Structure 1
Amino acid sequence: MTTIKSQQIWVDQQHLANTNVVSRDININDLQQDEVLLETDSFGFSANNITYAALGFKMGYWGFFPAKSDNDVDEAHGFGIVPVWGFATVKASCHSDIKVGEKVFGYLPMASHWVIKAGKVAPHGFSDIHEKRKSISPVYDQYIRCAADPSYNKDREAWQLNFRPLYMTSFVLDDYVAEKAKGEILLLSSASSKTALGTAQLLKDQKASRNASYKVVGLTSTSNVDMVKTSGCYDEVYSYDDLNALTSDSSNSRYWLLDFAANGTLINNLSELLGDNLSEVTLIGATDWKAEEKPNPKLLNAEIFFAPARVKLRQGEWGHEVFLAKYASAWKHFAEKVSDQFYEQSHCGTDAITRLYLETLNGSSPTKALNVVTFD
């Protein structure tokens, strides 16, 4: 068979609740030098992927996998393909160092098949250097060879699909905070989110070995307080409705907000409550992407943490293999700590994928589910 049907989920870039299921033909005989056809095995899906869509124009996420019209040249006006993280198998290859059947992990489109152009090929993986891919960071372009990945575990694929990209942010954010922290009370908003949980676990569990004096405090909705406390990742947990309790016995403390929610009202409330004691604000994510008021980094004197930049820095300083080994060690410890708090949930076929996307968009998908998504 020389022609492959690529099933693709397209999203209206201006009205995110509008979706189309589109089929595009890919002729294997048309592959050019160094091009590789990837077949999506499975991918994870969570609020993180909705953030990619919500910030698609602002951060450039729509540029990775442009939706193409029937002629495969012009972009489909107004529609895009949401990026996901997943496993894929090489279906066809025109690169001498990439073999058919090889399994990789990386940044994929919400599509059953996709053509990339392989470059920077190394034992640990390769990158997509296709001219159609408008990348915002080389970190997003890397595909890791599972056979050479120290953190890959066939029996834990659901965890890697759903946590790896998020825990990678946690891993480098912890590294960044540990380098700068001076005994502050670290406030993590959206404390039940996977990225915040991972960051909190790393900060708390390494506090003693770092001889650090900071405190790790989670802020979350009332309905999630018990779940966040049970995780054991935080020193203390407070609901958004009980922020006044933060200052009950620490009026002279300095606070550093690590914001994963992007809810301007919450940040303003904290700023009013803590005043000058809120010494730093770092913006990381946007779990509350529907919030009517967004934070203004300039007014808040806040910094924006871009994880790929920190990944690139540490990969350059440590080397790729050492970086992956350090990450794998941290990841194993985290997965063991919270393994009983999540469950796997399968979604198969374009109807199920669209339904999961819309449920996550509306905030009705279970937060404890590790979604394993397949096209067939």
Structure 2
Amino acid sequence: MTTTTTLLVRQDQLATTRLHTVNDDAPLADGQIRVRVDQFALTANNITYAAMGEMLQYWQFYPSGEAGWGIVPVWGFGTVVQSQCADVAVGERLYGYWPMADQAMLSPHRITPAGFADGAPHRASLHAVYNQYLRAAADPFYRTDNEDVQALLRPLFITSWLIDDFLDDQQFFGARRMLLSSASSKTAYGTAFQLAQRDGIEVIGLTSPGNVAFCESLGCYDRVVTYDALEAEIDGATPSVYIDFAGSVGLRQRIHAHFSGLAYSCAVGASHVQDLGGAGQLPGPRPVMFFAPAQVKKRNADWGAQGLGQRLVGAWNQFSGAVEAPGAPWLTVQHHAGPEAAQALFTSMLAGSGDARTGHIATLQAG
């Protein structure tokens, strides 16, 4: 008997979760494949997906079928275990966007040697970036020896690279100082890594006291300042861009109040889920949500998919080399096997606990 186990999350109360197992013996329809979800990363980015699931349609990728309950999508690797699609073979290794479950059903279409899109009708209106599944055998990013790092950092780094590219494309809105909240988060330090390579740009990381040493050790921030000291330590009149990975209303209000020279306010993440929401009337520029697929679409038009891909792979190789530097890695990986372990990890991530240097890889497959 085949079963599928899924982690369900209350959409209006993210700390409420439950494991749901169903019998799944129905034969595949023509053209469908069944994929074993082998491993996925769980990061603050996934908490953002949950916190903004309704607004940005993240709940729609893998509908739970139960009102009020959602399935948080995750990035990682899977293996095809059944196929009724002539162009996708059993045993193929795939990278992509999975449900937090032990398996997934996909309907491959627009199949190429590099991969395919999921053609499930409910995903037709969702953004194409999240519907792509890449064949590991043909993927220029892929290496067998660092799947963990790919699952943890690749989707985040692509967002980081696109933020840097967007800001450069806009000439940094006339500012030369970048302020990054939640500076210890993976998307923030990926962005800082890119920004640090640009001449004349000052990169300031904002973080809690416990993460100062970690952020300073990365070498990509010119300065690291604690949240409680930002008004005292950073001049507010200098033209600046705020890149908000925290999503904290209180912090956003303080930034907008103190930085009279704020040129642009870029909202990216929601790692501070206890303090989300609208900030009402703010001084300075209105915060604008950064949506990575929009910049992908622009650069595909500018450079073509191959040109964009070459730039991303080159930048990824440089970044992942720094992250995995022998003797001084930025990241240590912890594995969590089994449904209950994945559920506990999600709860822990939601609470914001854990060491900034630790990356978490989970699977609902039994340990």
Q: Structure 1 length as normaliser, TM-score?
A: 0.90
Moved more, 139-148 or 332-341: 332-341
Deviation at 1:245, TM superposition (A): 4.1
Deviation at 1:215, TM superposition (A): 1.3
Counterparts of residues 282-301 of structure 1 (less than 5 Å): 282-291=266-275, 294-295=278-279, 300-301=285-286
Say if 2:222 is the partner of 1:224.
no
Paired residue for 1:326? Answer: 311
Deviation at 1:49, TM superposition (A): 1.0
Say if 2:181 is the partner of 1:189.
yes
| Contact kept? 1:44, 1:85, Cα under 8 Å | yes
Deviation at 1:294, TM superposition (A): 3.8
Residue aligned with 1:17, SS: strand
String of CA shifts for 1:121-151, please: whole Å, max 9, x gaps.
1121111120133753110101111111111
Please tell me the residue identity of whatever aligns with 1:334.
F
Moved more, 194-203 or 47-56: 47-56
Deviation at 1:315, TM superposition (A): 2.9
Counterparts of residues 249-328 of structure 1 (less than 5 Å): 252-275=237-260, 277-291=261-275, 294-295=278-279, 300-328=285-313
Deviation at 1:298, TM superposition (A): 8.2
Deviation at 1:102, TM superposition (A): 0.8
| Contact kept? 1:225, 1:239, Cα under 8 Å | yes
Listed as ranges, the gaps of 5+ residues in structure 2 are none
Say if 2:78 is the partner of 1:88.
yes
Are residues 369 and 141 of structure 1, via their aligned partners in 2, closer, same or farther at CA, if it must alter by over 3 Å? same
| Contact kept? 2:78, 2:95, Cα under 8 Å | yes
String of CA shifts for 1:32-58, please: whole Å, max 9, x gaps.
232111111110101211111111112
String of CA shifts for 1:224-255, please: whole Å, max 9, x gaps.
1111111011111111111134445xx65211
Deviation at 1:28, TM superposition (A): 5.8
Please tell me the residue identity of whatever aligns with 2:268.
I
Paired residue for 1:369? Answer: 358
Paired residue for 1:10? Answer: 8
| Contact kept? 2:73, 2:100, Cα under 8 Å | yes
Please tell me the residue identity of whatever aligns with 2:33.
V
Partners of 2:140 and 2:345 in 1: CA distance: 30
Are residues 6 and 143 of structure 1, via their aligned partners in 2, closer, same or farther at CA, if it must alter by over 3 Å? same
Paired residue for 1:335? Answer: 320
Partners of 1:292 and 1:155 in 2: CA distance: 38
String of CA shifts for 1:300-355, please: whole Å, max 9, x gaps.
42222100111232234333333233212211211222331211101000111111
Partners of 1:231 and 1:17 in 2: CA distance: 32
Q: 1:157 aligns with which of 141, 147, 159?
A: 147
Listed as ranges, the gaps of 5+ residues in structure 1 are 68-74
| Contact kept? 2:94, 2:134, Cα under 8 Å | yes
String of CA shifts for 1:66-93, please: whole Å, max 9, x gaps.
11xxxxxxx2122111111110111122
String of CA shifts for 1:232-290, please: whole Å, max 9, x gaps.
11111111111134445xx6521111111111211221222222x11111111111121
Residue aligned with 1:364, SS: coil
Paired residue for 1:142? Answer: 132
Q: 1:24 aligns with which of 22, 25, 29?
A: 22
Partners of 1:6 and 1:360 in 2: CA distance: 24
Counterparts of residues 349-368 of structure 1 (less than 5 Å): 349-368=338-357
Say if 2:249 is the partner of 1:244.
no
String of CA shifts for 1:17-40, please: whole Å, max 9, x gaps.
2222111233362x2232111111
| Contact kept? 2:29, 2:84, Cα under 8 Å | yes
Moved more, 107-116 or 8-17: 8-17
Please tell me the residue identity of whatever aligns with 1:288.
H
Partners of 1:168 and 1:364 in 2: CA distance: 25
Deviation at 1:297, TM superposition (A): 8.8
| Contact kept? 1:139, 1:312, Cα under 8 Å | no
| Contact kept? 1:263, 1:294, Cα under 8 Å | no
| Contact kept? 2:175, 2:263, Cα under 8 Å | no
Q: Structure 2 length as normaliser, TM-score?
A: 0.92
Please tell me the residue identity of whatever aligns with 1:342.
L
RMSD over aligned CA atoms reads: 1.9
Partners of 1:17 and 1:272 in 2: CA distance: 32
String of CA shifts for 1:194-246, please: whole Å, max 9, x gaps.
001001101112x1xxxx42211111111111111110111111111111344
Q: 2:34 aligns with which of 34, 37, 41?
A: 37
